[in-house]
Every structure is written in structure tokens, then in C-alpha cells.
Amino acid sequence: MLTRLPVEVMPYRLVEQGREFDGVCDIANLTRIADLIVDKEGTLSVSLSFYRNQSALPALKGQVSGDLTLVCQRCLEPMTLAVDASIDLVFVSSDEKAQSLQGGYETYLVEDSRILINDLIQDEVMLSIPQLMVHDSCEPYKPLIEATSATISQTVLEEKENPFAVLQNLKNPGK
């Protein structure tokens, strides 16, 4: 059993061969969503099955699953997203070909007869991340700058109103 997936494949050839892959994808390789990912350790499980579908189109079925630690968009604390994305697509060699397909297939554009497996996996993972990713219940993150500027202006004001505060502090160093 393969644990590492191939980096680059020729999907049409794999379809003819009916090839299947089971392996892992390093989370660190999800470079397009790297900014969202807190913990880049670990892997996602990936299974891929190249085949010709009932309409004789070159197709791919598969699954990407595993846990990603991302940033909550409300409190900015880490949160775990359980990814379980089904891959079900048809390979096309041009956008025109994709548009001419009937049947509502999800299509994947193959340029130069090759694809990068990591690109394909990243597409599927990105689709499975919700638009708004937040904990079920948490408090909004309060930017530090907001809190401190309010506190500072309050302090300045108090000191101006009471010029003796400094003297009193000198007289009572213990306070």
C-alpha cells in the first residue's frame, strides 16, 4: 500500500489503467490556505480512483479526510475542522469541453495532459472550508489597540485633572 501519493500524474493514462491510490498529503503542502492553518503538522488521508464513468468520460472519484486546525474568524483562537471531502469529477482538456458537457459534472481542467495531485487536493480542501468559520459559541476578539487607546486617554485625562496625583505618589511610595 502506498503512503505517499504521486506528485504529478497523467490522468488520462491512469483512467485507462483504472489506477487507484491510497495515501497521505502533508498539511504543510496546502500552501494556498497556509495563512488559515494554525497547525501545519500532520497529514490528510487521500484516496483516488481513476476510471471511466457510465458516459465513458475520464473521471476521478475519491476522498480527502482528516483534521485541520484553523483560525476561528470570530475569536481568532484555533479551531478544528474535520475535513471529509468527496472527490467526484470529470477530466476535461479545455474550458469549451467543460461547458459542452451535459449532466452537471464537476470538471477538472487538464493542461498538457498532466495534473499536480497537490493542486487537486487543495481545491477539494478549499471547497470544504466554510465561508464563515467560527466556533459554535465564542466571544468576538477585541483588538488590543481599541482597549488600550481608550484606557490611555482616560488615564491622561485623570492626570491632567489632578496634578497632585504625582506628588501624592511621592509622599506615599508604599501606595
Contact present, 42 and 23 (Cβ < 8 Å): no
135: contact with Zn ion by CB under 5 A: yes
Q: Does 71 bind Zn ion (CB under 5 A)?
A: no
Q: Which helix (H) or strand (E) holds 108?
A: strand 106-109
Return all residues near 64 (Cβ < 8 A) that are at least 6 apart: 25, 44, 45, 46, 83, 84, 85, 87, 121, 124, 125, 128
| Listed ranges 57-65, 67-75, 93-101, 106-114: which one lies at the site for Zn ion (CB under 5 A) | 67-75
Among 19, 61, 74, 97, binds Zn ion (CB under 5 A): 74
> Closest CB to Zn ion among 68 and 110?
68
Is 57 an interacting residue with respect to Zn ion (CB under 5 A)?
no
C-beta closer to Zn ion: residue 20 or 67: 67
Between 65 and 73, name the residue whose CB sits nearer to Zn ion: 73
| The one segment of 38-46, 74-82, 92-100, 107-115 that binds Zn ion by CB under 5 A | 74-82
DSSP one-letter string for 42-101: SEEEEEEEEEE-TTS-EEEEEEEEEEEEEE-TTT--EEEEEEEEEEEEEEESSHHHHHH-
Nearer Cβ to Zn ion, position 136 or 161? Answer: 136
The site for Zn ion (CB under 5 A) is made up of 72, 74-75, 135, 138
